[in-house]
Amino acid sequence: MKKLLFVASLIVSVSTPALAVETFYIMFDNTMKGQPRPCSIMTSKSAGGKYKMMGEYGSRAQAESAMRSMKECG
């Protein structure tokens, strides 16, 4: 029984980080056209019409790098 409990806890501890993978989105704020920094990095998609999704990335570093190269995000 102890062996089964140990194996189960090992499986949970190894699989938990894989489930915690976060997705980062670059969102363009339509109300800030022409102003500095109209884009921001978010961890969830916006449901409202205020934002336009510019991209989806697996890490914050990838999102920041992509945002620097987007002319809309200036």
17-30 in b/e form (b: 16+ CB < 10 A) is eeeeeeebbbbbee
> Number of structural domains, the chain?
1
% of residues, the chain, pLDDT over 70: 73
Amino acid in position 45: K
Instruction: Give me the chain's average pLDDT, please.
Output: 79
**Is residue 30, in this structure, part of any structural domain at all?**
yes
Range of the domain at 52: 20-73
Is 5 part of a structural domain of the chain?
no
Q: What is the pLDDT of residues 34-69, one digit of tens each?
A: 777 788 899 888 767 788 888 899 999 999 999 989
